[in-house]
Copies of this chain bind each other. A is one copy, B any other.
Amino acid sequence: MNTVEFSLSEFCRQTRQAIPLLQSMDLRFTEFGDHRLRVDMPLAPNINDKQTGFGGSIAALATAAGWAIVSLMLKSRPHRYDVMVTESHMRYLAPATCNFYAIANVSDSAMATFNQVLDEQRQGRITLQVMVEQDGKQVAVYTGTYKVIQRVSQ
C-alpha cells in the first residue's frame, strides 16, 4: 500500500464518520490521482421506487465527490480549509440500473489559478464537473461550485 492509497483510505474513514449519510449510501472514495477522484456506490441502499438509482442519492454522490476532490487537492497546501458547496446543477441522462460511481476532475490549470487565489486572498470559489456513470455509460452530469475558506486555527 503506498502513501496515496493509505491517505485515501484514511480520508474515506474520516469522511464517512463525519458525514453519516455517506455510510448509509455506502459511498467509498476508491481512486485519487492526477487531479481525478473516483467515488463508488452500490445500487441497493440507493434504490428508488422504480428499482433504479434514487435521484437524491445521485445528487448527494456528486456533491460529495466534488467536495472531496477539492478537500483532497488542498491537502498539499500548508494551511487547512473548510470547503462548502454553494451552487450545483445536475442533469440526469439515464437511469442507474446497477452499481454506479462518480468521477470528479479538476484540471491542472484550474487548480493552479485557484491556488493563486488562495495564496492572495485565503479564500475563493472553484467550479468543477462530476460525471456519474455505470459500466462506462453516463448516468448524470453535475457542475458544482465550492467556497473554500482558510481556517484561522491549525
Give, as a whole number of angstroms, the nearest-CB distance from A37 to chain B: 15
| Residue A36 is within 8 A (CB to CB) of chain B in the complex | no
A55 near B67: Cβ-Cβ < 8 Å: yes
B50 near A21: Cβ-Cβ < 8 Å: no
B20 near A47: Cβ-Cβ < 8 Å: yes
B46 near A21: Cβ-Cβ < 8 Å: yes
Find chain B residues with CB under 8 A from A123 CB. none
Q: With the chains together, A67 CA to B59 CA distance in Å?
A: 14
Give, as a whole number of angstroms, the nearest-CB distance from A49 to chain B: 4
Q: Besides A50-B82, A50-B84, A56-B60, 4 other CB < 8 A contacts?
A: A18-B49, A60-B60, A86-B91, A88-B90
Find chain B residues with CB under 8 A from A60 CB. 21, 54, 56-57, 59-60
Find chain B residues with CB under 8 A from A61 CB. 56
Give, as a whole number of angstroms, the nearest-CB distance from A128 to chain B: 14
A15 near B49: Cβ-Cβ < 8 Å: yes
Q: With the chains together, A15 CA to B50 CA distance in Å?
A: 11
**What 1/0 mask marks residues of chain A from 10 to 50 whose CB sits below 8 Å from any chain B CB?**
00000100111110110000000000000000000111111
| Residue A119 is within 8 A (CB to CB) of chain B in the complex | no
Find chain B residues with CB under 8 A from A132 CB. none
Most buried by B among A25, A48, A59: A59
